[in-house]
Copies of this chain bind each other. A is one copy, B any other.
Amino acid sequence: MCRFLAWAGAKRFLDELVMDQEQSLVHQSRNALIGKTPINADGFGLAWYSGRETPCFYKDTNPAWSDANLKQLTHHTKSHLFLAHVRASTGTATSRNNCHPFGCGKWSFMHNGQAGGHDRIRQQLDGMIPGHLYDHRLGATESEAIFLIAHGEGLDAEPIAAMERAVHRVEVLARAKGSLPHMRFAACWSDGDRLFAARYASDRFAPSLHYRPCDDGIIIASEPLDAKNGDWAEIPANTAIETRGDRLQMHVFEPNGRSLDAEVA
């Protein structure tokens, strides 16, 4: 289990959300309130869009609360779209290459969840990554694999459906060779223009995911950043959201359903 947040909207300093909230992301790295893992201190990461073709990544293996650079960078960096993540490893090493968000071209991606029995299916996961993207396979997490598989499924053309297909393929593998729970998936991804998020599980326990519409944008977060819970809405399971400018759309996100259809067809 990990914790994350994302912002899309007007330009704002990263520390306003990462540091300065009542239940900021850095606070969650010590004391997350929702979910079974209160400590999320196996590394952290930021991705923000600066106007260059690719997003900027700052990731390291320290706990977020003790990283002096993180405090500096979030205080001085403004962006209209950013992702931030604190990690609680479910088994793989604490290594920068295993820290979220992951990047590939203009895309960034971060995840909270797991594919059941990841240690038994990792080699097959590696084999499912498109060959031309394998140099982006830097770490060993299923999260990064799902992201790269989604690229192969056409993330550019169909940002939500491609992710659905990737999650489906990994879940099928976990059902065949892994263990329970087969798939837990809460994630955010972006191309710098649109921000996507989805919530899903192969059982009844989809990882928490919330959003809060603001006057000048939207926050998506694993858990509310303050106790004014009335301002926060839960994203239902099996749902994806897409935001661009001040438009917010909900989509069905059913890797199992849609993909099973695809298999039937």
- A63 in contact with B60 given A52-B76, A138-B93 (CB within 8 Å): no
Contact residues in B for A76 (Cβ distance below 8 Å):
48, 50, 52, 56
Q: Which residues of B contact A229 (CB under 8 A)?
A: none
Q: Report the minimum CB–CB distance from A77 to chain B (whole Å).
A: 8
The answer for the CA separation of A27 and B11 in the assembled complex, in Å, is 34
Nearest B residue (CB) for A52:
B76
Q: How far is the CB of A92 from chain B (nearest CB, A)?
A: 9
Interchain CB contact (< 8 A) of A96 among B57, B58, B95: B95
Q: When chains A and B are docked, how far (Å) is the Cα of A123 from the Cα of B132? A: 10
Instruction: Of the listed stretches A65-73, A182-190, A193-201, name the one at the interface; the rest are far from the partner chain.
Output: A65-73
* B42 contacts A56, C-beta separation under 8 Å: no
- Mark each residue of chain A from 106 to 131: 1 if its CB lies under 8 Å from any CB of chain B, else 0: 00000000000001001100110101
Task: Check if A143 is an interface residue, CB within 8 A of chain B.
Answer: no
Report chain B residues within 8 Å CB of A48.
Answer: 76
Docked Cα-Cα span, A159 to B167, in Å, equals 42
Count the A residues whose beta carbon is within 8 Å of the partner chain — how many?
41
Contact B58 A69 (CB under 8 A): yes
A59 within 8 A of B: yes
B30 touches A62 (CB 8 A): no
Q: Which residues of B contact A75 (CB under 8 A)?
A: 52, 56
Partner of A72, one of B30, B56, B97, B123: B56
Interface residues of A (CB under 8 A from B): 30, 39, 41-42, 48, 50, 52, 56-63, 66, 68-69, 72-73, 75-77, 89, 93-97, 119, 122-123, 126-127, 129, 131, 134-135, 137-138, 140
Q: A30-B39, A56-B77 are in contact. List 14 more A-B contacts (CB 8 A).
A: A41-B63, A41-B66, A42-B63, A48-B76, A56-B73, A62-B94, A63-B63, A68-B94, A93-B97, A95-B96, A95-B97, A119-B135, A123-B131, A137-B140
